[in-house]
Amino acid sequence: MKHKQNTKLVIGIVLLASFAAVLVAIFLPLFGGHNALNALDNLYNSISKGSAYYVPKVLQQIESHPATAVSLSLDYKQAEVAARAAALLEKAGATVSGEGTELHVEGDLVAILKACAADADSAYHGRGAELEARHGIAAQAVLHAWWSTLSVIERDLTKKKLFADAQLVHSVQTKAVECAYNYYGIEASKISDRWGIVLLSLAFYVLYTVWYGYAILYFFEGLGMRLSH
């Protein structure tokens, strides 16, 4: 009985030690300069980006929306963002007046949203240099200005009870601009092209969890402890 208990204790110690060794390896930059967690995070971000390209559908929504002349009162939180937004809106064909954090905008909502979707599409596909050349600022700054602009446009349209217009603006913001911003700099891939590493990572997660569970079980049983009810 004592021999069996000692054997379990040795097995538990070996399992815990090997578990700890693997845990240390996980946090070492062994995968192209990244640790295992960052590498897997990049992998799953890449796969999710491959299924999150909604710009074509958003453009269809915009195209099917009737031309809508809007007169908007936009209140931004930061003057710097408002200045960037003013430049974007003017390039989209709108007339912009005001200063500081408050802008008054007149123009065609459809034309504004088309320009926004075009910028989001460029960013989604990693063409940051194209956006910078177009607007003179970094791609992510462009996207942030558009996101802020769509937020205040939606708010103003909702106040005026133009709910269909507000819903379209919200769709462009969440499905085009947010996706482009969140996935900027990430290369898109399909899970069908990476299924091997995906299955391997999932299998390792299950094995590693069971590994730790048995290590604890054998270790404490080796110390003479038992679960009872």
Question: Residue 176 and residue 121: Cα distance in Å, rounded?
Answer: 7
Residue 178: inside a domain: yes
* Domain co-membership, 157 together with 71: yes
Lay out the sheet containing 95-99: strands in order across: 69-75, 102-108, 95-99
Residue 229: inside a domain: no
Q: What tens digit of pLDDT does each residue of 81-101 get?
A: 999 999 999 999 999 999 899
* pLDDT for 196: 85
* Domain co-membership, 31 together with 126: no
* Domain co-membership, 45 together with 67: no
* Domain co-membership, 9 together with 60: no
pLDDT (average), residues 142-167: 96
> What phi and psi values does residue 204 have, to the nearest 5 degrees?
-65, -40
H helices, E strands: number in the chain: 10, 3
Number of folded domains that form the chain: 2
Residue 109: inside a domain: yes
* pLDDT for 225: 77
Question: Residue 158 and residue 153: Cα distance in Å, rounded?
Answer: 8
Residue 41: inside a domain: yes
* pLDDT for 1: 59
* Domain co-membership, 126 together with 200: no
* Domain co-membership, 40 together with 69: no
* Domain co-membership, 45 together with 97: no
Q: How confident is the model at residue 227 (pLDDT cuts 50, 70, 90)?
A: low
* Domain co-membership, 92 together with 137: yes
Question: Residue 107 and residue 112: Cα distance in Å, rounded?
Answer: 8
First-to-final CA distance of the chain: 22
Q: Which domain covers residue 18, as residue numbers? A: 2-49+188-222
Q: How confident is the model at residue 224 (pLDDT cuts 50, 70, 90)?
A: confident
Residue 228: inside a domain: no
Residue 227: inside a domain: no
Question: Residue 18 and residue 13: Cα distance in Å, rounded?
Answer: 8
Residue 110: inside a domain: yes
Residue 59: inside a domain: yes
* Domain co-membership, 206 together with 117: no
On the question of pLDDT at 70 being above 90, the answer is yes
* Domain co-membership, 103 together with 135: yes
* Domain co-membership, 148 together with 95: yes
* Domain co-membership, 172 together with 196: no
Q: What tens digit of pLDDT does each residue of 175-204 get?
A: 999 999 999 988 877 777 778 888 998 999
Statement: the pTM of the whole predicted model exceeds 0.85: no
